[in-house]
Structure 1
Amino acid sequence: MEERLNMRGQLILSLSDRSGQMIHQQHPKNRIVLSGRRLVAQLFGGVESGVPAPKKITQMAVGTDGTDPNDDQTNLLAERSRKAIAQISYEETLEAGVKRLQASITAEFNFEEANGDDPLREAAILNEDGVMYNRVVFEPVTKTNAFKLTLLWRVVF
């Protein structure tokens, strides 16, 4: 049996009103960029002498640029706001007879956060040094103080 590590992520983006009612949800496609793959590889195997050790992911960011993601991007293209990760949990899953580990990562942009006239179109997970793990582009969402934005990423290893 040949085993492969097919890292992948799925974002669930939700908007809720002040009563807690979910009014909009999207499931856009995720792109793990090269800097994210390097981060995982360096966490696994270490780094060369003189290179700072990579740090864990700690934040999510949203922005307004809808340009398609590519492997060489290292930042959101038009970042509006960053938020600390509020929750992370781990769960074992079974796919085609192979045990996988799923990390579920959540951040919430409250009613007064990440608002603006230009719609949000992009999001990312970053480590505490600002290294971007992934980038996703989604259908435009106009964030106002009437809504809370929740980002839930499920990343499978």
Structure 2
Amino acid sequence: MRDRMDMAGRLTILMHDRAGRLVLDQRQNNRIVTSGRMLVAEMFGGRTTGLPRTPVSAIAVGTDNRDPADADTALGSKRGNPKAITKVEYSNFTDAQSLARVRVQVTAQFDFGEANDPSTPLREAGLLNDAGVLYSRVVFKDVTKTDTFQLTLLWDIIF
């Protein structure tokens, strides 16, 4: 018998106009960075020294399109303040190799007046805990966010 726990993630970006019409549905795999893997390991092991180990609690967006790397500890160019995660859902499923897996989906929403700049598109996002530890980072196709759009970010992490 062989067991594995390959963590993986995928971001879904949904953008709606003021009438509630869906104008963008984009999906992109993320990179779980070293600081995120360490966060999970330390929470699992119960490490009690140093910074408090807390779960992810916010999603930040930015404009840097540099490829994600294991050593990333922050977004390349953050725009605005991170948004609190407002919804967390868990589900069980069996993957293609017949392994039982767990999916957690976290959701945050940038409202019409948030993270706007029509001259520079959004290109990156990151999952953070309340101490600012970066769990994962993703780079995606340009998203121009203005006050006529609401942005919903749904982030799936598979364990």
Question: Common fold, TM-score beyond 0.5?
Answer: yes
Say whether residues 1:4 and 2:4 are aligned partners.
yes
1:42 and 1:53 in contact (8 A); partners too: no
Q: Which residue of 2 aligns with 1:19?
A: 19
Could you tell me the percent identity over the aligned residues? Answer: 45
The residue that corresponds to 1:115 in the other structure is: 116
Where 1:133 maps in the other structure, the secondary structure is strand
User: Helix, strand or coil for the counterpart of 2:50?
Assistant: coil
2:146 is equivalent to residue 154 of structure 1: no
Question: Does 2:113 correspond to 1:106?
Answer: no
Partner in structure 2 of residue 138 of structure 1: 140
Deviation at 1:3, TM superposition (A): 0.8
1:5-154 aligned at under 5 Å gives the runs 5-47=5-47, 50-81=49-80, 82-95=82-95, 96-116=97-117, 117-154=119-156
How many Å apart are 1:54 and its aligned residue?
Answer: 0.6
CA RMSD of aligned residues (A): 1.0
Q: Output the CA distance in 1 between the equivalents of 2:13 and 2:49.
A: 39
| Counterpart-to-counterpart distance in 2, 1:129 and 1:53 | 8
CA distance in 1, matches of 2:66, 2:99: 35
Specify the code of the residue in structure 1 equivalent to 2:130. Answer: E
Secondary structure of 1:27 counterpart:
strand
Q: Which runs of 5+ in 1 are unaligned?
A: none
> Letter of the aligned partner of 1:73 in structure 2?
D
How much does 1:98 deviate?
Answer: 1.6
Alignment-mate amino acid for residue 37 of structure 1: R
SS in 2 for 1:43: helix
